[in-house]
Structure 1
Amino acid sequence: MTPYPAAVPYGRLLDPAHRSDPYPQFAELAREPVHRIDDHVWAVGGHAEISRLLRDPRLSAQEPAEFGPDTPLGSDGQPFRGPFLRQDPPHHDTLRGQTMHQFVPRILGLRPKIEDLVTELVDGLDGASELDVVSALAYPLPVAVICELLGVPRSEEPVFHGFAARLTRALDPPESFTSEELADVAKTREDWRAYLTPMIVQRLTEPGDDLISGLLTDGDPAERMTMVELATTLGLLLIAGHETTVNLIANGTLALLRTPDVLARLRADPDLAPAVVEEVLRYDPPVQLTSRLTTADVRIGDTNVPEGDRVLLLLAAGNRDPRRFADPDRFWPERPDNRHLAFGSGVHYCLGAALARMEGQAALTAIATRLAAPRLVADPPPYRPNTILRGPAELRVAVGASAQRFTTA
């Protein structure tokens, strides 16, 4: 007998068999402000509660860790704890600030490059009667962009894609792993650092104008990232700048093809693209949940969650909270006041949000305006097993003759 009833829908969320439609489970877990999953794990699905907790300093992003004599030190002189996404202030703020200083200026002028890449990819489909949107557009676009930012040649894109898939799996809840998968996670991190090390060393002696060089040479040398911090940060950027956008484009295409009236409106008015992307982020977000640890007792609704317990913040449930969004299961880009939770909130707000929006808008506009009479070959499509970063493994679409060429203003 399950000691806590909410463990049943949470178990379904972890089960890949339910990956194509997790929303009934999310809805069940959002009926109350907080549900107990086990003795030390709680789930929160309300929009208001999640919004507040994401900004609550009593909820820590840091995972418990055991440090040994071989644990490397971070640039703060303390044992290395992982990517800044999983660290708390003040060291989180230092690492994030360094990354933002180099990352943000480089993405501000990328929109023309992104639209050119989309045009190139869609031009390559000319004459095709069927395509896989994931392999033809959703994957190659963001991986080309992140390689451009890092100064990595496009010939290395397949390597980056392989690492992205493996590193993404490492983000899933630990209870969803077998012992063999946990060992593979550790090996993936080692392999990633080994792959990056020659690249980093080369830029130490021959810096360029890429993001890696910027992180190595900018600011006070005493405060710069260590090699392990840099490799981990680059892995985080690879996932955040690639895997989430793959899901955004694939989930958005699926939503458009399931709602032909919205597809027709976007085709007639490409200026609707920003609203379409925001609604995709609410309706079927690439990041479904995140977790925190309480550093003090925290009151959620009428429940006291003790210090040291894990709180699962169900972003996808909050995005369909009927107390916040009217008709939440409807895909409606013109929805007013669409303040979704897809990019989080507080100090951990998504660093690559602006880049994801640019890529999503360009790709979904191309889907609407360049593909004639697109229709799903299989619905639902097959999904990857990942729980947190959820998206189709492939999205096969049948098309008619090529439509008008995608152009930019």
Structure 2
Amino acid sequence: MSNCPYTNLLDPDLYLTGDHHQVMKTIRDQGGPVVKIEDPITGVPYWAVQGRDEVDYICKNPKLFSSEQRGAFSMELDEETMVRQRMMIVNMDPPKHNKFRRIARNAFTPSAVDRYEANFRRYAKEIVDRVAGKGECEFVRDVAAELPLIAILELCGVPIEDRQQFFDWTNAMFFYEDDSMSEGDDNMAAARDAGANMYLYAAKLAEQHAQTPLNNIVGALLDGQVDDEKLTVEEFSAFFLMLIAAGNESTRTVTAHGMRLLMENPDQLALLVERPDLIPFACEEVLRYNAAFMSMRRMVTEDVEVGGQLLKKGDKVVLFWHGINRDERVFDDPMSFNIRRYETMPDLYKEHRAFGIGQHFCLGSHLARLEMKVMFEEFIPRLKNPRFTEPVEYVRDYFINGIKSMRIAFDAE
């Protein structure tokens, strides 16, 4: 039995109730921003980082803290799997990472993303139209999941009728820890199959581009060059998979949590109905309070001190974004959800780390913010008097802060 005094933050069962924040706070209060935790599930101990200054230092020093050597995901993978994983940009270190990121970044600048606002608003209105007259819905499936997937597929030139299979594939890949989110008896096999299907789909897009060049992000990736060479089909497929999966799951998650938080704080919801101009500020507080991604991994490449702790070469480091965004040294009353936080912290969008920091800062942050804003502006005034009809069900996962199901009722139009 472990003598470690701290709860294992990589135990997926911890996240089934949605109240892991108090556990993280207890660890911060008792041990500080950086503590060593035993993981009896994998047998690999890790340094849990929950301080903002500490995570900024780690993320801005990739030579000391590698994403590539053991990957950016917290699970333990064999070397054969890691070879494939290193084709994903999230699992790359400089200079390779910078070269791959450069290919796609122009597609995600604010000016590039803003061109899609009219389309996104039309889709968002149609999504709300489908549920507003019913007086009830399962908010994750019927509302939160729709626009993010439509948006990222549109950017990639994928037909909208294919969105259901991408929804199923990304669920299988990300939520393999939760038996109820995957079909069949072998969740890992289902996750691998989903990834393989997305690779095959990407390969078909590459064939299509070779015959008729595509004027979208897929075309940009396939025409882009790293060290004077175009991406291989396998490299492109890995990039495509990462874009689709991250673009779908992240905004879906924060949109669902945003509605949950507003329903749990009806005075703040009422304020947004009265003052829709505050919605962008509310979105930033949702991002701070319940970031989509909860953990990312780094490996220490040489002995270094962080947060008063000596981290040794080869040590596993896990960055816990939910703890980082509730760092009491940075945020006043961080355990409270407050859409008026901007009044005392006008640069909240720069202060939280929901999109990370440093070289791996989320490529699609502008896209996610636009989707959230548009979606909130459409459903907040129309889904009136919302209330829960069943307890919220959370995903059993330490990586994505997912809501599995959130059934609500509201006044039908």
TM-score, normalised by the number of residues in structure 1: 0.88
Measure how far apart 1:212 and its partner are. 1.0
Q: What fraction of aligned residue pairs are identical, expressed as a percent? A: 28
Measure how far apart 1:244 and its partner are. 0.3
1-structure distance, mates of 2:144, 2:98 = 31
Counterpart check, 1:97 vs 2:102? yes
Correspondence for 1:398 among 393, 409, 412: 409
Correspondence for 2:395 among 373, 384, 391: 384
Q: 2:12 aligns to what?
A: 14
After superposition, where does 1:126-275 map in structure 2 within 5 Å? Answer: 126-169=132-175, 180-218=186-224, 222-275=228-281
Aligned amino acid, residue 258 of structure 2: G
2-structure distance, mates of 1:226, 1:346 = 27
**CA root-mean-square deviation:** 2.4
Q: 2:354 aligns to what?
A: 342
Cα 1:106/1:267, change in 2 over 3 Å: same
Q: Which runs of 5+ in 2 are unaligned?
A: 39-43, 71-76, 179-184
Aligned amino acid, residue 351 of structure 1: L
Correspondence for 2:24 among 23, 26, 41: 26
1-structure distance, mates of 2:108, 2:231 = 15
The answer to which of 182-191 and 17-26 deviates more is 182-191
Listed one character per residue, the Cα deviations across residues 127-159 of structure 1 (whole Å, up to 9, x for unaligned) are: 212111111111111111111111111110111
Q: 2:320 aligns to what?
A: 314
Aligned amino acid, residue 92 of structure 1: H
2-structure distance, mates of 1:218, 1:10 = 39
Please give the secondary structure, in 2, of the residue aligned with 1:397: strand
Please give the secondary structure, in 1, of the residue aligned with 2:408: strand
Listed one character per residue, the Cα deviations across residues 374-406 of structure 1 (whole Å, up to 9, x for unaligned) are: 112234x0112222111211211111132xxxx
Q: 1:5 aligns to what?
A: 5
Cα 1:298/1:182, change in 2 over 3 Å: farther
2-structure distance, mates of 1:122, 1:208 = 31
Listed one character per residue, the Cα deviations across residues 61-113 of structure 1 (whole Å, up to 9, x for unaligned) are: 11438767x998xxxxxx87231111100111111110113443642311121
Counterpart check, 1:113 vs 2:137? no
Cα 1:330/1:234, change in 2 over 3 Å: same
Aligned amino acid, residue 305 of structure 2: R
Listed one character per residue, the Cα deviations across residues 178-227 of structure 1 (whole Å, up to 9, x for unaligned) are: x9544444333323212322222111111121221222124579432111
Contact 1:285–1:342 under 8 Å retained in 2: yes
Please give the secondary structure, in 1, of the residue aligned with 2:403: coil
Measure how far apart 1:56 and its partner are. 2.0
Correspondence for 1:354 among 350, 362, 366: 366
The answer to which of 214-223 and 358-367 deviates more is 214-223
2-structure distance, mates of 1:97, 1:171 = 33
TM-score, normalised by the number of residues in structure 2: 0.87
2-structure distance, mates of 1:129, 1:97 = 46
1-structure distance, mates of 2:16, 2:407 = 20
Q: Which runs of 5+ in 1 are unaligned?
A: 73-78, 173-178, 403-409
Q: Aligned residue pairs: how many?
A: 386
Correspondence for 1:279 among 260, 278, 285: 285
